[in-house]
Structure 1
């Protein structure tokens, strides 16, 4: 019986074709027939959202790029204004609000996925905390459109975290006449975990080493940091080495390992910033001692830290953002550059996740390639760099400073040329990037 129905159906088609009449069959009438060995169905006009969530920076994001994949030619030719986009803001499994984000979405150049009819329309959505007017916290966002053309598309869902960042004071190259810079290394005031370089400007004099010790002892009132070092009775210079005489009453500097380590490193890092001073030797009460800073002894010569460093962000006492250096592992230069970019995007350095620090580069920015010619390193980034921190000029400068301080710590590199998809840019963070940049002289100026 079934075979007979199928044969009649084929004869019916052949007759209409032979007569030259247009064939316009409603195949739904045959829906109760068994499956045929031929596919007479019309393909669905699929519509879906796409995005690369893995490269999306979920902490304090400024934008996300997404695509609408579609086969309908009418939809592909539509303008962004033809779509109405909404964003559900979900917190603690409940919808906090629904925002109309149509005005925060911009169209990007179209991309053809393949040679078939499937294409995508590219968009960017401004997700800055200021634009969305959201308080600090972790949210789940659900993006979708209420237009008829996109109503069947499954919403795009992703998580974000907002936390308010303090102001960053950029590194500088100039100072007032009659002043001299001191680079002082203090423990970070918030967590007492990192050693942070601070530039303090004082009246010029001819005793910079004594001035450094005096200013370390003063601490930093503006940053809320007390003195990290014990009392010093005398300083002497011997070739490339400074001899530091400290009193025998070391108290907490011998009792507390953390205080001891910060005291030692504050001394060595700060004093070796003076030209031609590469080593530091200590004496306790004018003599050699086995009880120097908890586990150290005075027979040890402590050298200047010349390791390659990556500079991450630190929010100090919620007063201001600072750059804090962390040593990188010794590897080949190409691997080092890639590892440094990863560290700047993730705050993960040589396999260690650093707590309470900020990755200066948003994770959605990609380093396309890099090259070195003599003392100039060229870094070619994806277009997302241009949108990073687009509502915070100071954070853009933090990102640039972190790149400059980090990559010029590699031996022989003096200039950094930044490109965006092989093109020079003349405006980012208030800096003209059409020229190669040198590292600023004065990091983390204590006062603006």
Structure 2
């Protein structure tokens, strides 16, 4: 038996030490064990309360997370900033704007109760930017996911100019004609009141004064050739020679000319009743004109009340002018079924949200409209304490703010005047919008 066991052992040793190849059946491990590579989750997001800034010194941005996140700084700047103007990139990757720079490779713990709060210096002086409206895109160096690593803010720099208040009366022996002139960039029509001695039909005078052009070299008239202007029982007929084709070429230029005609003539109704305007060419009615305008826009355009206008400020040669801007009631959420009080609150909210590259809101960001009440045709706008400190030591700019409010809120239906109160205390009495906006000649 012992000999037999030894034979078996020797046989096995020989077998395993030989060069004979074994083909072992493969083993399928699928479905047996699944190993996942851990995925790094970084749910940091950027938050700011300041999306539309006027003349800012700084901006505060938060890195927030609902879960605990450990992140590491990879640069001595938390943010880089790309700056755009009119959709063109003018500065890329501006850095080191933080008041306190982080250490490279420093680990930072973020959770719901412990956000990263960063203050960035974006003053006009620090960045060396000219007056204008810009889009700032802040890019976080702490967030790898490009979908949530940036935040965009609109910034307007507007060096303080001078505002000349509107007038309630024309000088003795004159009539005030509000004329609409285009800006150099053709981005707005600015109403300017010129006081003239009446020596002919006042509607004809208005057109002639438009043709004469503005006193400011930074504005221009878009009204040139006109054959005749007649007034008949409230209807004004403006006849244009077919030889002058500029009114009918290009949508932007023709639109400015059309609006300049219409707004200027309808403002004459402070003196004469103006019911409608008709345009003719070579004394004949036309189906279309002013780049395909047609229907009542050309024939018997009615003089109807324009509602929901926002009066913004435009600076030209160091002077602020108020101008009207027609808001989009749909995007602003204003409904015909809303009460006037609700419409007024929504209209004020547009001051905060509006994004214009050429006009600025006359209402400082920290001024808050607490509530609105209405009695008859007068509404009371009740503001917080910031209203009293707005434009400190600048009475002209305070007046600009008040007049902007008066012009704006009397475009609400059935509203003739406003009262401004602060925390429920009447500060102004009833204010009616002054008749003559932006007097051209300053005494």
Alpha carbons 1:268, 1:304 under 8 Å: kept: no
Instruction: Give the Cα–Cα distance (whole angstroms) in 2 for the partners of residues 96 and 390 of structure 1.
Output: 29
- 1:178-201 deviation digits (Å, cap 9, x = unpaired): 1110011222x1431222221111
Question: What is aligned with 1:281?
Answer: 278
- Match of 1:216, SS state, is helix
Counterpart CA distance in 2 for 1:159 and 1:272 is 35
- 1:220 pairs with 2:219: no
Q: Any idea what SS the aligned residue of 1:58 has?
A: strand
Note if contact 1:380-1:421 (Cα within 8 Å) is conserved in structure 2: yes
Counterpart for residue 254 of structure 1 = 248
**Following TM superposition, by how much is the alpha carbon of 1:174 offset from its aligned partner in structure 2, in angstroms?**
3.0
Structure 1 residue 217 displacement after superposition: 0.5
Once the two structures are superposed, the pairs formed by residues 40-51 of structure 1 within 5 Å of their partners are: none
Distance 2:184 2:292 in 1: 25
- What runs of 5+ residues in structure 1 fail to find an aligned partner? 1-51, 65-89, 99-126, 140-157, 348-352, 426-432
For 1:236 and 1:161, the matched residues in 2 are separated by 44
Deviations 1:384-408, CA, capped at 9 Å, x for gaps = 1112121432221111111000111
Closer, same or farther: CA 415–254 of 1 in aligned 2, 3 Å:
closer
Distance 1:55 1:311 in 2: 21
Q: Secondary structure of the residue that 1:272 maps to in structure 2?
A: helix
Flag the 1:384–1:334 CA change in 2: closer, same or farther, 3 A: same
* Equivalent pair of 1:186/1:196 in contact (CA under 8 Å): yes
Could you tell me how far 1:210 is from its partner in structure 2? Answer: 0.7
Aligned: 1:236 with 2:230 = yes
How far apart, CA to CA, are the structure 2 residues paired with 1:297 and 1:249?
Answer: 20
Match of 2:303 in 1: 304
The TM-score with structure 2 as length reference comes to: 0.62
Report the equivalent of 1:31.
Answer: none
CA RMSD across the alignment: 3.6
CA distance in 2, matches of 1:251, 1:404: 39
Residue 105 of structure 1 corresponds to none
Say which of 326, 329, 342 aligns to 1:335.
342
Q: Contact conserved, 1:379 with 1:419, CA < 8 A, in 2? A: yes
For 1:60 and 1:395, the matched residues in 2 are separated by 15
SS of corresponding position for 1:338? helix
Deviations 1:290-340 (A, max 9, x none): 452221348632222522133333434443211111224363223321221
Which residue in the other structure is 1:414 paired with? 416
State the TM-score, normalizing by the size of structure 1.
0.61
257-266 vs 310-319, which moves further: 310-319
Check 1:229–1:163 CA distance in 2 against 1; reply closer, same or farther (3 A cut).
closer
CA-to-aligned-CA distance 1:30-59 (integer Å, 9 cap, x gap): xxxxxxxxxxxxxxxxxxxxxx97379731
Pair 447,305 (structure 1): closer, same or farther in 2 beyond 3 Å: farther
Contact 1:190 1:317 in 2 (8 A): no
1:76 — aligned with what? none
Instruction: State the alpha-carbon separation in 1 of the partners of residues 58 and 170 from structure 2.
Output: 37
**Retained in 2: the 8 A contact 1:310–1:402?**
no
Residue segments in structure 2 that go unaligned for 5+ positions in a row = 1-46, 60-79, 82-93, 101-120, 137-152, 330-334
Does residue 439 in structure 1 map to residue 433 in structure 2?
yes
Q: Return closer, same or farther for 1:202/1:374 CA change in 2, 3 Å cut-off.
A: same
